[in-house]
Homo-oligomer: A and B are copies of this chain.
Amino acid sequence: MGASKSEFFSEQQNELASLFKAISHPARVAIIEYLLKVDSCICGDIVNELPLAQPTVSQHLKELKNVGIIKGNIEGTAICYCLNPDTMKKLESYFSGISSELKSKCC
């Protein structure tokens, strides 16, 4: 085997895992932080910012977009990417929910 047994887990668990997988790579964390820094939305100079070739960056952007972490709007020849606030809030509330339920009754 080797394939993930995702069919045995809930849809929500799979969706969360997909979100985390999308940001489980340092380049994609760096893309998120760069998009946060340049608060107007930037397209392809992410390629200049990162030590990765253009096809690699394009692939990383695609993965972030597929799970809804970023959005991309076509502006002429360029594409303007930005963070999706809804997804960020969803992730924030997931962890704040865990933190508030954790009554530190630990081993």
Query: A-side interface residues toward B, CB under 8 Å?
Result: 4-6, 8-10, 13-14, 16-18, 20-21, 23-30, 32-33, 36, 39-41, 50-52, 71-73, 75, 80-83, 85, 88-89, 91-92, 95-96, 98-99, 101-107
Q: Do the beta carbons of B92 and A95 come within 8 Å of each other?
A: yes
Which residues of B sit under 8 angstroms from A18, Cβ to Cβ? 24
Rounded to whole angstroms, the CA-CA distance of A92 and B17 in the bound complex is 16
Q: Do the beta carbons of A39 and B105 come within 8 Å of each other?
A: yes
Q: Do the beta carbons of A103 and B39 come within 8 Å of each other?
A: yes
Which residues of B sit under 8 angstroms from A30, Cβ to Cβ? 9-10, 13
| Residue from A30, A32, A107 with most neighbouring chain B CB atoms (10 Å) | A107
Q: Do the beta carbons of B85 and A99 come within 8 Å of each other?
A: yes
Rounded to whole angstroms, the CA-CA distance of A28 and B14 in the bound complex is 10
Q: Do the beta carbons of B13 and A102 come within 8 Å of each other?
A: no
Q: Do the beta carbons of A95 and B102 come within 8 Å of each other?
A: no
Which residues of B sit under 8 angstroms from A50, Cβ to Cβ? 8
